[in-house]
């Protein structure tokens, strides 16, 4: 059974509980809408898995998302072809990640410290560029907005499909490539990784650039899907993204990461939010319930993992005995 079985069970239990009490929740349109809701933050969670796996945290993800989206939208407003603007947006996000990476590697600082500063820098620069106003590019005459907003079979947003494809690609990158192995090796034991000849600084730099590029991609997709970017969008992303990755089973101690877990973790967060509304839980109680159900979901995951490890131990004892 996969490592993510605990969170998968937690997710299924939640969906079953809500679905039994409120059958409308299991309506395919609602479930696809939930998937669509995970898209933009979910993409950021995929990048954050790599960072946690390498024992780093990037606090600036929300503003890299916002700044990239603002740049994309402004390029479109300036008359650049939206597809070219989209490519520029991803590259711009990568450049922001490069700024984080160069500072972290050159000054040998943890990314959490560096991004504590760049969090405000990127926010401030974005506000300077957008002048505190929403940027609304015209969607006339380009297939970009049509393609990003298009719903396959009338229900599945293209943006959600891109998210799922990106998740598959990132899973392969983490578990089937040299870069992925290096990330996990550096996160598991940086000194041992350095002794083994792994260029740890370069791996850190590459991981932070990857995070930035993903923020750029998410911001670009957001402009295409929503048709605008507001000055404060992204301000509340970072905690949700980190929570999704941790709920999904990626440890803060590094050395291991799970893309599938991050996708499930983000879905759990969306299911909790949706479930509270389906049950009509009052706004004043919803914050408490969000926290309580998150703790229950994580507890269920840990309990299942504990039972699995106990069972494995017993099997080992039996085979040795």
| Chain positions contacting other proteins, by CB under 8 A | 13-14, 17-18, 21-22, 24-25, 27, 29-30, 33, 37, 40, 127, 130, 132-134, 136, 149, 222, 226-236, 270, 273-283, 285-287, 289, 292-293, 296-297, 299-300, 303-304, 307
Closest contact distance (angstroms) between CB of 150 and other proteins is 13
**Least CB distance to other proteins at residue 285 (A):** 8
**Nearer Cβ to other proteins, position 112 or 136?**
136
Q: How far is the CB of 75 from other proteins (least distance, A)?
A: 17
Q: How far is the CB of 233 from other proteins (least distance, A)?
A: 6
Residue closer to other proteins by CB (options 117, 227) is 227
**3-class secondary structure for the chain?**
CCCCHHHHHHHHHHHHHHHHHCHHHHCHHHHHHHHHHHHHHHHHHHHHHHHHHCCCCCCCHHHHHHHHHHHHHHHHHCCCCHHHHHHHHHHHHHHHHHHHHHHHHHCCCCHHHHHHHHHHHHHHHHHHHHCCCCECCCCCCCHHHHHHHCEECCCEEHHHHHHHHHHHHHHHHHHHCHHHHHHHHHHHCHHHHHHCCCCHHHHHHHHHHHHHHHHHHHHHHHHHHHCCECCCCCCCHHHHHHHHHHHCCCCCCCCCCCHHHHHHHHHHHHHHHHHHHHCCCCHHHHHHHHHHHHHHHHHHHHHHHHHHHHHHHHHHHHHHC
Q: Least distance in Å: CB of 274 to other proteins?
A: 5
* Closer residue to other proteins in complex, CB, 188/273: 273
- With respect to other proteins, which residue has the nearer C-beta, 29 or 172? 29
Query: In the complex with other proteins, which residue's Cβ is closer, 187 or 248?
Result: 248
């Amino acid at each position: 059974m996969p490592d993510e079985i605990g969170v998968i069970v937690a997710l299924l239990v939640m969906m079953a509980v809500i679905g039994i009490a409120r059958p409308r929740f299991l309506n395919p349109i609602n479930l696809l809408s939930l998937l669509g809701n995970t898209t933009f933050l979910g993409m950021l969670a995929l990048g954050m898995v790599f960072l946690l796996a390498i024992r780093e945290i990037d606090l600036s993800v929300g503003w890299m998302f916002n700044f990239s989206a603002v740049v994309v939208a402004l390029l479109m407003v300036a008359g650049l072809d939206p597809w070219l603007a989209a490519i520029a947006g991803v590259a711009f996000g990568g450049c922001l990640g490069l700024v984080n990476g160069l500072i972290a590697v050159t000054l040998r600082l943890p990314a959490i410290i560096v991004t504590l500063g760049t969090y405000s820098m990127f926010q401030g620069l974005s506000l300077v560029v957008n002048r505190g106003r929403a940027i609304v590019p015209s969607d006339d005459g380009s297939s970009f907005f049509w393609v990003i907003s298009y719903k396959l079979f009338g229900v599945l947003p293209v943006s959600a499909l891109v998210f799922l494809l990106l998740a598959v690609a990132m899973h392969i990158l983490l578990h089937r490539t040299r870069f992925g192995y290096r990330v996990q090796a550096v996160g598991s034991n940086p000194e041992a990784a350095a002794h083994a000849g792994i260029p740890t600084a370069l791996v850190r730099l590459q991981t932070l650039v990857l995070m930035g590029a993903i923020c750029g991609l998410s911001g670009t997709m957001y402009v295409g899907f929503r048709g605008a970017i507001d000055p404060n969008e992204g301000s509340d992303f970072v905690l949700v993204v980190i929570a999704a990755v941790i709920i999904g089973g990626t440890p803060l101690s590094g050395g291991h990461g799970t893309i599938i877990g991050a996708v499930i973790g983000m879905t759990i967060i969306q299911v909790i939010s949706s479930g509270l509304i389906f049950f009509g839980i009052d706004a004043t109680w919803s914050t408490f319930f969000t926290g309580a159900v998150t703790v229950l979901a994580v507890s269920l995951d840990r309990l299942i993992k504990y039972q699995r490890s106990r069972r494995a131990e017993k099997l080992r004892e039996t085979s040795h005995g």
